[in-house]
Chain A
């Protein structure tokens, strides 16, 4: 009597659920059309606990608690040392490889002896040092310009990247006169433009990623 007074849907769905789970007919038979009309109030056929409002499942991007005074992402100044160090090391490695290539090709006609090894080693270290210095100073100029432009504008976006790259190219090639500076600026503009494009590719393509 209590079961019937509390609502006819519950015992029906429970029994229907039981039949669905265990398959064999352990109780009164209900036709499929009768079962289809039963409303599942807050219960899913699998479990009565899957009744969470999906609005509570959305993950917010502000899920990290930041200490006072900290930004969400790293600013240009914090990234600067990493950029400069990375460029130095990359330059050293590529310079060493280039030096090995040049040393091997220049001493092609010598037998494997100590002078040949010393010459190859000298080429490797000199080329490695030169490339590391060049790339490192380029990265230093770029980072310095980036920080200055960001502080001057008060905002941070890819325009800073492109402007810093262009200014670096201009300054680096300025001993070559106005024409050299213009060419350097163009190279800087191209490289930093490509980098900005690469880092914003998904945003520009208008990706349809779902936010979960």
Chain B
């Protein structure tokens, strides 16, 4: 598989926003298709029309919410990268928590804390899964040369000899 190349930080925000919108819109589209199908009067014509209407109205909204989440997350992530000067999973977890907090700001401090916890735990799960996957994928390849063996069997005479040539 080709290596996964992410954009540098300012453009990463636009990329993540687009990716989140796509996920939300397509997932929401499928979900709303089923829901609209079921919540329509009986008769295939009605059901198809209800399904299409639900997709047209609800899927972009879900895509939009995902896009806001993704864009805000990526913005905070890039900000943390610039401030801390390194990229590691802690950035993502903190960004997830802060995004959850900001998006629940209208509902008061208690809701913010709860939303932050949810966001942080979600991102921790995602990052943990990513790390496990990387370890699993790399363990499939043969390991490099082992340096732990061979500490001693160097003949002492060769080291003694060189003093003569000083």
A interface, CB within 8 angstroms of B: 67, 69-70, 80-86, 88-89, 129, 132-134, 136-137, 139-140, 175
Contact = CB atoms under 8 A, between A and B. Distances in A.
A83 B17 CA distance: 10
Interface stretch (B40-48, B57-65, B85-93, B120-128): B57-65
Interface residues of B, number: 23
* B interface secondary structure, majority: helix
Nearest to A137: B60
Interface in B7-36: 7, 11, 13-19, 21-22, 25
Residue picked from A82, A133, A175, most chain B C-beta under 10 Å: A133
Most A-side CB within 10 Å, residue of B7, B16, B21, B25: B21
User: Which are the 6 A-B pairs with shortest beta-carbon distances?
Assistant: A85-B18, A84-B18, A85-B17, A81-B18, A133-B60, A85-B14
Contact of A137 (B3, B15, B19, B25): B25
Contacts of B50: none
Contacts, number: 70
21 contacts: A69-B2, A81-B18, A84-B18, A84-B21, A84-B22, A85-B15, A85-B18, A85-B19, A85-B67, A86-B14, A88-B17, A88-B64, A88-B71, A89-B71, A132-B67, A133-B61, A133-B63, A136-B18, A136-B67, A137-B63, A175-B52
B56 interface: yes
Is chain A's interface secondary structure helix, strand, loop, or mixed overall? helix
Contacts of A88: 17-18, 21, 64, 67, 71
A136 B21 contact: yes
Given A69-B2, A136-B64, A83 B56 contact: no
Contacts of B7: 82
